[in-house]
Every structure is written in structure tokens, then in C-alpha cells.
Amino acid sequence: MFHVEHDEVQFATSLQSFAADLSLFIPDSSVAYFYRYLSELKKWNRAINLTAIDDDREILVKHFIDSVACLKVIDINDKSELLDVGSGAGFPAFPIKFVRPQLSVELLGPSEKKGAFLRYVVGSLGLQEVTVATAKLEDYVNRIHVQGRFDYIVVRAFKVDHLGVELSALLKPAGKLVLYRAERVGPRFGLAGLALVEEVEYELPAKYGHRVLSVFAKSIG
């Protein structure tokens, strides 16, 4: 089993090297956030089920690097707002936030236990412009202040096939939905109110598998 948590220099080297394999850049200033996040993730994982993966190298690639891969298809500026639906243990929102600190992020999930972990990470890492909402998407979408609010919605490990209308309602007119997937969407896959505009495929480093980012935009008319 590969362990880097006890050695921050080795951790930084591994994280940045894996990112470079996908032509992604993780600045030195972000490494400490990933390092502390890994430590808290493993600590909390002993008490509540946050991830089935306990190998550091696998966490780095399958959770951290895969999360950051979203930057291949989204363009973040100082006013961008991102919603992570079904955020679970904080993937992909936290890794994206670490690399793009100017981004405003909301993490949404129904679990109070996981929500407690997410809030702890926000506080202990001193993250700014990050909030946690504990609710089901179907209830969350009815909150007035979130309708038409987000530039980007990311979904990594949450089934949304029947939730197109709700997701569309949360996006700004030019907003995008990004689904992290193992394969391209099929001809029968559809999301009401949203249209597929792009798909980007990539191989995770260290032969950890094939991934696809499927990007949707609001349908016109």
C-alpha cells in the first residue's frame, strides 16, 4: 500500500506529477490544502463511511486528480459560482476550490453526518466562499435564492437521469452542468431542459481507468 500522508514533500511531488500527466497544474500554494484534507478524510473515514478507498495513491488519483480534471471544460473567473450536487465527502468541489480559490462553492448532499464532515473541513482549512447545504436536490431547488444562481453544477457520484428540470432551474442562462462519467452518454440518455454540448475523455494516471466529462447547457426554447 502506498502512503504519502506522513511525508508532505512526497505528497506534493506525487500530487503535482499525477496532475501533470493530465496537463493539469496544481500550484504549490494549494498542496497544503490537499494534504490536510487527505488527513482529515482518513481520520473521519474511521467513524463514518466517506470513501471505500483507503490507499493514499488511489485517493490522490481517483478522488483528487479526477475532481480537478473538471478544469478541462470549465472556465472560472472571480465571480464564478459552482454547485456540487451529491458532494458526499467533498469530491469534486473541494479539490476544485483548492486549485481555484477565487471560486464560490456550495456543496449539496442529504447526509447530516457527511455534512458535518464537510463543515469541519471548511472551518479547519479556513476556506472562504464555501457553504454546505444539507438537503435533497428536489427540496433544495425550491429555495428562492438558489434558482438561476450557478455558473456551473458538477455531479460526480450521483444519479441525475430524472432531475434535468431541477438542475436546469439552478443554472444561470449560460450555465453548464458537468457530469463525471465512466463512459460517454448513450443516445437514449437525456436530461429535460438540458442539451449535451461537449464530451471530453481522458485516462486517469497510473492506469486507474477511463473517464469522461459530459457537459450540458440549458436548452434553447
- Tell me the pLDDT tens digit for each residue of 142-177: 998 999 999 999 999 888 989 999 999 999 999 999
pLDDT, residue 221, reads 53
pLDDT, residue 97, reads 98
Q: Buried b vs exposed e over 165-174: b needs ≥16 C-beta within 10 Å?
A: ebbbbbbeee
Answer yes or no: is 80 within a domain: yes
Number of compact structural domains in the chain: 1
Cβ proximity of 153 and 171 under 8 Å: yes
Cβ proximity of 91 and 115 under 8 Å: no
In terms of pLDDT, which residue wins out, 113 or 1? 113
Answer yes or no: is 1 within a domain: no
Answer yes or no: is 136 within a domain: yes
**The whole model's pTM is what?**
0.94
The CATH number that applies at residue 143 is: 3.40.50.150
Extract the C-alpha cell encoding 2.
Answer: 502506498
Q: Cis omega (within 30 of 0) on the bond before 173?
A: no
Range 3-15 average pLDDT: 81
Q: Which domain holds residue 14?
A: 8-218
Q: Buried b vs exposed e over 6-31: b needs ≥16 C-beta within 10 Å?
A: eeeeebbebbbebbeebebebeeebb
